């Protein structure tokens, strides 16, 4: 990973600098924003790894955000898709979590992330893979599409036929 991606550590903010709502979410030690800040230090469509607290968790932000000091973000070159790197990291998440040092505050080192190995296809192939995985993600997690929608439709179908069968006139 370290040979093709530049890992950047975020910048510290103290809690009194944060607000409960605002322009830019602040990621610190979990995938849930710690709060909001008036500035961003990372651009949208960036993958990140939590390196303390919920160490080993993988995130992707489709909005500009503030990466605090317990977050590593990935800077990619023009021939690497940011979203592809997100999916690569997700596929390596168990390995990363096995590298977390268990202490009062769990920590994941930059070196552990740098040592992640993966196959890097062409940018065209990366985009094709991302498209497939995005579609699968939508189908499995979207409330208006995919499995939840299918379950809702099957429930309505069941109710319709139940009523038809129970209200037979002879």
Specify the pLDDT at position 2: 82
Mean pLDDT score, 115-142:
90
Residue 33 reports pLDDT greater than 70: yes
Decide if 74 contacts 85 (C-beta within 8 A): yes
- The pLDDT assigned to 169 comes to 60
Average pLDDT of the segment spanning 97-124: 93
Domains of the chain, earliest start first: 1-118 (3.90.220.20), 121-170 (no CATH)
CA 36 to chain CA centroid, nearest Å: 18
Residue 119 has pLDDT above 60, yes or no: yes
Give per-residue pLDDT as tens, 35-70: 999 999 999 999 999 999 999 999 999 999 999 999
The dihedral built from the CA positions of residue 28, 31, 36 and 39, taken in this order, carries a sign that is positive
161: pLDDT confidence band, cut at 50, 70 and 90? confident
What pLDDT does 143 receive?
67
Q: Where are the beta strands (DSSP E) in 20-95?
A: 24-27, 35-37, 46-50, 58-61, 66-67, 71-75
For the chain, state the CA radius of gyration. 21
Question: Nearest 5°: CA angle at 56, between 52 and 57?
Answer: 100
């Amino acid at each position: 990973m370290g040979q093709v991606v530049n890992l950047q550590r975020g910048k510290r903010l103290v809690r009194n600098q944060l607000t409960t709502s605002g322009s830019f979410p602040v990621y610190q030690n979990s995938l849930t924003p710690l709060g909001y800040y008036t500035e961003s230090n990372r651009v949208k469509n960036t993958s990140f790894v939590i390196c303390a607290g919920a160490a080993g968790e993988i995130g992707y932000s489709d909005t500009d955000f503030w990466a605090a000091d317990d977050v590593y973000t990935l800077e990619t070159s023009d021939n690497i898709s940011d979203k592809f790197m997100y999916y690569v990291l997700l596929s390596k998440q168990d390995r990363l979590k096995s590298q977390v040092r268990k202490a009062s505050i769990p920590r994941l080192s930059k070196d552990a992330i740098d040592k992640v190995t993966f196959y890097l296809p062409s940018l065209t192939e990366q985009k094709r893979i991302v498209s497939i995985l995005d579609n699968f993600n939508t189908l499995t997690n979207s409330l208006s599409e995919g499995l939840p929608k299918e379950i809702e439709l099957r429930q309505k179908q069941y109710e319709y036929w139940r009523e038809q069968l129970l209200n037979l006139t002879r």
